[in-house]
Amino acid sequence: MTEQKVELLSVKDVCSMLGCSRRTVYRLKDAGQMPMPLKINGMVRWRPDEVENWISAGCPDLRARNPRRN
């Protein structure tokens, strides 16, 4: 069986896809509002299919919503 090589996306690639700055991508990531990246040897990379699916879905907020406590 042969392995299929998947190119992972850099923050620059994600910026291009979203039309925003690096800082915005990192803010979305830190807030949990976008697919979580992989960390590989200190580098941050995203799976293309996860980012594309997220964009196709209208970039929904991916944070787990906790009910407010009274």
pLDDT in tens, 7-66: 999 999 999 999 999 999 999 999 999 999 999 999 999 999 999 999 999 999 988 644
Treating both helix axes as pointing N-terminal to C-terminal, what angle do 48-56 and 11-18 enclose, rounded to 10 degrees?
20
Q: Bigger pLDDT: 70 or 28?
A: 28
Residue among 36, 17, 16, 49 nearest 26 (CA): 36
pLDDT of residue 64: 61
Q: Bigger pLDDT: 17 or 1?
A: 17
pLDDT at 6 over 90: no
Phi and psi dihedrals of 13, rounded to 5?
Answer: -65, -45
| CA 36/CA 69 separation, integer angstroms | 27
Identify whether the C-beta of residue 15 lies closer than 8 Å to the C-beta of residue 22: yes
Q: Where are the domains of the chain?
A: 11-56
Q: What is the DSSP letter of 33?
A: -
Q: Bigger pLDDT: 53 or 6?
A: 53
